[in-house]
Amino acid sequence: MWHQLESRAYPIHLNMGWSGNQNAWYNLPNIDDTYWVFDTISSVVFNVFPSGTGDLLTGRVLDNSGNPVSGAVITAKKNQTTVGTATSGVNGIYSIKISSSKEWNYTVTATYAGLSSSLSISLTPSASTRLEYPNTYYPGTGVVGNSWGNDFTFNAPSTPTSLSATDGTSTDYVTVTWSAATYATSYELWRGTESSSTYAVYLASNITATAYQDVTATPGVMYYYWVKAVNAVGTSAFSTTGDDGYRAFSPLDETSTTPVPVPYTWLDDYGLVIGEDYEAAGYADSDGDGYVAWEEYVAGTVPTNIVSRFLSNITMVNGLLTIEWMPDLGGERTYTIFGKTNLVDSAWMTPTNASTRFFRIGIDMN
Residue in 283, 286, 289 with CA at minimum distance from that of residue 306: 289
- pLDDT tens-place string over residues 83-97: 889 999 888 888 887
Q: What is the rounded average pLDDT of the residues 161-189?
A: 91
- pLDDT band of residue 4 (cuts 50, 70, 90) is very low
| Mean pLDDT for all residues in the chain | 79
Per-residue confidence (pLDDT) for residue 168, from 0 to 100? 82
Which residue would you say has higher pLDDT here, 126 or 13?
A: 126
Q: What is the CATH number of the domain that holds 201?
A: 2.60.40.10
**Percent of the chain residues past pLDDT 90, beyond the cut:** 37
Pair (108, 181) in one structural domain: no
Q: How many CA atoms lie within 13 A of 27 on its CB side?
A: 6
Range of the domain at 333: 311-365
Query: Has residue 310 got a pLDDT over 60?
Result: yes
- pLDDT tens-place string over residues 228-250: 999 999 999 999 777 777 777 66
Per-residue confidence (pLDDT) for residue 299, from 0 to 100? 93
Pair (116, 168) in one structural domain: no
The domain boundary, picked from 154, 172, 191, lies at 154
Task: Please give the model's pTM, rounded to 2 decimal places.
Answer: 0.56
CA 257 to mean position of chain CA atoms: 42
Q: What is the rounded average pLDDT of the residues 95-113?
A: 78
Pair (50, 193) in one structural domain: no
Diameter over CA atoms, the chain: 145
Q: What is the rounded average pLDDT of the residues 326-344?
A: 90
Query: Has residue 348 got a pLDDT over 70?
Result: yes
**Percent of the chain residues past pLDDT 70, beyond the cut:** 76
Per-residue confidence (pLDDT) for residue 55, from 0 to 100? 65
Query: Has residue 138 got a pLDDT over 70?
Result: no
Pair (78, 114) in one structural domain: yes
Per-residue confidence (pLDDT) for residue 100, from 0 to 100? 59
Pair (139, 18) in one structural domain: yes
Pair (293, 343) in one structural domain: no
The answer to whether 230 touches 150, Cβ cutoff 8 Å, is no
Per-residue confidence (pLDDT) for residue 171, from 0 to 100? 81
- pLDDT band of residue 18 (cuts 50, 70, 90) is very low
How many domains is the chain built from? 4
- pLDDT tens-place string over residues 242-281: 777 777 766 668 899 999 999 888 998 899 998 889 999 9
Per-residue confidence (pLDDT) for residue 328, from 0 to 100? 92
Q: Distance between CA 332 and CA 326 in Å, rounded? A: 14
Torsion 278-284-289-293 (CA) sign: positive
The answer to whether 289 touches 311, Cβ cutoff 8 Å, is no
- pLDDT band of residue 170 (cuts 50, 70, 90) is confident
Pair (171, 129) in one structural domain: no
Query: Has residue 182 got a pLDDT over 90?
Result: yes
Per-residue confidence (pLDDT) for residue 347, from 0 to 100? 87
- pLDDT band of residue 196 (cuts 50, 70, 90) is confident
Which residue would you say has higher pLDDT here, 21 or 67?
A: 67
Pair (286, 315) in one structural domain: no
Query: Has residue 194 got a pLDDT over 90?
Result: no
Per-residue confidence (pLDDT) for residue 53, from 0 to 100? 54
Query: Has residue 1 got a pLDDT over 50?
Result: no
Pair (187, 213) in one structural domain: yes
The domain boundary, picked from 154, 187, 207, lies at 154
